A and B are shown apart, each in its own frame.
Chain A
């Protein structure tokens, strides 16, 4: 049982990375890559928004920073000369492999999160949301205007297409392992306590600011990593790629799945990704026996909207609420330390 998570994780990576590209059609490989990246982005958003109660709207800002940092660091030197002729010397001369570039992107985002988090994490409720939205706006404006690093609002292109199913599966598993380890540790317990009642948390001796800052910075690290993966998947992007539309998508996935649950983040991402793929194919029209359904373009978006409304009406806490698979809490539930709800999707509270 002790190594159950590791075994499951390795089996999953091996299966996806080794077999996936050979067995699956190209189209599904691409769907799975985006799904995996979104699992990284949404579960890391859940650590601050769901577990710590700091409802951040700035997550795409970190994704953007991760994509640009890793893009700049890995760009071929000849392309650097062509696309980014004004890069400062030390950046103009480096070309890093994928893994170090991704790690640097993550660490860079975590450091930015600490710097902006020290003032922002003192806020709570709606105030912190608006303030983090301010961060997202600032990142966008800076990226548009820092032309020597980013080509401004023009497309940043020529990034090596390093991202494949193996990298994504590997990072998604690392993300979930680390986040589940943190969320169900004493530190994670302190994070959840500051969410439920900041005053009582202080009264039992928890420092609020460090707990929130840890959640925000760790979330930003994985947002940066996910951003790097996304950048090397898209190969070309612009600041507009990482803006309000991305934010809305991430929040929808998180809230739909259940904010205070890593299992919920995975379920939310998978549900929305797969549903939108299926619906998009259906809206082109199909035939069922003798029945001919004509193409109704835009119907998939309407159907998705209805599904969101229904879930929020009947399960405002999201599909999973704060329930987790026992695998995620690593058996610590059995000792009575975690959420007790062992039933998964659709089960009622006791």
Chain B
């Protein structure tokens, strides 16, 4: 069964059409990356999936069930976690509270254990656990945003530009963690500007251009394919 399937998804912000019929699919256990220039519609696609914007047309289904009519909260509870662009940690709350909030939709007893797991994954967060999240460095905030998303025990993780504005070394370390998550079987839909890193991690890729899928294929095959570069530069794919 497909984990996620988008068909003919259209989203508009007022008169601006951000997505003009995007179709894509993600299978369980797969890492799929969504590439494209600024304004191509990558973030909008993720926001539509997690219910933060309402699509004008088209369908989204998750594990065979339609998502289009659900609220963001219901969608999180179905098992989709969105790690938004620009990190968006709760600046005035402590690291520990941020992690607890990631488990807002959960009522089980495993939350404390999962927090310890996150501290194992990102030891720096353990050191900073009582610190206000707004005082963390950019890289630490990205780790916190990722850990917070994982706290919901997602079946599908939506990641929006985890490398944005971070030093190369920090980016390496984040992608190292993503590799470990992939090896553990996490299904990920990754939006990324850093094409090489994204294609290295992903199984498959879609390239968006002005709200449409311009190109898709196996990540291995798209590495070094000049059509990817051309899609970025706005030429014919």
Binding site for B on A (CB under 8 A): 186, 189-190, 192-193, 195-197, 199-207, 260, 322, 333, 335-340, 349-350
Chain B positions within 8 Å of A322 at CB level: 92, 132
User: Whole-angstrom distance between the alpha carbons of A260 and B105 in the complex?
Assistant: 25
Flag if B101 contacts A199 (CB, 8 Å): no
A196-B91, A196-B92, A340-B94 as given contacts; A202 in contact with B72, CB under 8 Å: yes
Among A190, A200, A203, A322, max chain B CB count under 10 A is at A203
Who on chain A is nearest to B98 by CB? A193
Can you list 11 pairs linking A and B with CB atoms under 8 Å apart?
A189-B97, A189-B101, A196-B93, A197-B89, A200-B89, A203-B50, A260-B92, A322-B132, A339-B92, A339-B132, A350-B135
Whether A206 lies near B104 (C-beta < 8 A) is: yes
Cβ-defined contact, B93 with A189, below 8 A: yes
Additional A-B contacts beyond A197-B91, A200-B88, A204-B81 (8; CB < 8 A): A203-B82, A205-B76, A205-B104, A206-B101, A333-B130, A337-B97, A338-B97, A350-B131
Interface centre among B73, B77, B91, B96 (most CB of A within 10 A): B73
Known: A192-B90, A196-B90. A202 touches B73 (CB 8 A): yes
Q: Which residues of A contact B72 (CB under 8 A)?
A: 202-203, 205
Which parts of B93-134 form the interface with A (CB within 8 Å)? 93-94, 96-97, 100-102, 104-105, 129-132
Chain B contacts of A192 at CB under 8 A? 90, 92-93, 97
Tell me, yes or no, whether B84 is within 8 Å of chain A by CB. Answer: yes
B151 shortest CB reach to chain A, Å = 8
With the chains together, A195 CA to B92 CA distance in Å? 9
* Contact assessment for B101 and A204 in the assembled complex, using a CB-CB cutoff below 8 Å: yes
A-binding residues in B (CB < 8 A): 50-52, 72-73, 76-77, 81-82, 84, 88-94, 96-97, 100-102, 104-105, 129-132, 135, 148-149, 152
B100 contacts across to A, CB distance below 8 A: 186, 189, 337
Distance from A184 Cβ to chain B, minimum over Cβ atoms (Å): 10
Report B159 CB to chain A, min CB distance, Å: 12
Give every chain B residue within 8 A of A204 (Cβ-Cβ): 76, 81, 101-102, 104-105, 148-149, 152
Cα–Cα, bound, A275→B91 (Å): 33
A34 to B104, CA, bound (A): 40
In the bound complex, what is the Cα–Cα distance between A199 and B89 (angstroms)? 10
Residues of A near B52 (CB, < 8 A) are: 199, 202-203
Chain B residues within an 8 Å CB radius of A333: 130
Q: Once the chains are docked, how many angstroms separate the CA of A193 from the CA of B31?
A: 30
Quick check: B84 and A203 within 8 Å, CB to CB? yes
Contacts A186-B100, A190-B101 given; does A205 touch B77 at CB 8 Å: yes
Complexed CA–CA distance, A201 and B132 (Å): 16
- Contact present for A193 and B90 (CB under 8 Å): yes
Q: Are the CB atoms of A336 and B129 closer together than 8 Å?
A: yes
Residues of B within 8 A of A206 (CB): 73, 101, 104
| Min CB–CB distance A187 → chain B (angstroms) | 11
Q: In whole Å, how far is A249's beta carbon from the nearest beta carbon of chain B?
A: 26
Instruction: Please pick, from A200, A205, A339, A350, the residue contacting B73 in the complex, using a CB distance under 8 A.
Output: A205
Which residues of A sit under 8 angstroms from B88, Cβ to Cβ?
A: 197, 199-200, 203
Across the interface, name the chain B residue whose C-beta is closest to A197: B88
Residue of A nearest to B151 (CB): A204
Interface-centre pick from B51, B130, B132, B149 (highest chain A CB count, 10 A): B130
- Cα-based distance from A206 to B130 in the complex (angstroms): 22
Q: Which one, A193, A195, A339, contacts B101 given CB within 8 A?
A: A193
* Residues of chain A within 8 A of B105, CB atoms compared: 204-205
Provide the bound-state CA to CA distance between A197 and B88, in Å.
7
B93 to chain A, nearest CB (A): 6
The complex places the Cα of A186 from the Cα of B76 at a distance, in Å, of 18
Could you say which residues of chain B place their CB within 8 Å of the CB of A203? Answer: 50, 52, 72, 76, 81-82, 84, 88
